[in-house]
Amino acid sequence: IIISTDKIGDKALVTIRDHGPGIPIDAQPYIFEKFYRVNPVDSQTIYGHGLGLYMANRMLEAMGGEISVRNCEDGGAEFVISLPIIEENDEPNLIS
């Protein structure tokens, strides 16, 4: 796994890249949905309930950010997290 950071304008970016098989193109629009699993077979070695990426997405949205995914040309998947940079003197944007 490779993790890198960057700043573009008023956004902080965190990029997380792996060297696995990637995310199937037809699954990419759905991987942030609740209970979605790319491989729903119960007998798989790595089992999940389809909540991890959903909760990460919801948490980022609550902080004014977002997450996206793409496959890398040389293999693996790349997730990009974008969060607004809050200056120390900025008023917090509280959600009621």
Model pTM score? 0.76
Helix (H) or strand (E) holding 59: helix 52-62
- pLDDT of the residue at 82: 97
- pLDDT of the residue at 88: 76
Phi, psi of 55 (to 5 degrees): -65, -40
Does residue 17 surpass a pLDDT of 90?
Answer: yes
Question: Do 66 and 59 contact (CB within 8 A), yes or no?
Answer: no
67 forms bridges with which residues in the sheet? Answer: 81
pLDDT in tens, 32-65: 888 878 766 554 556 677 778 899 999 999 999 9
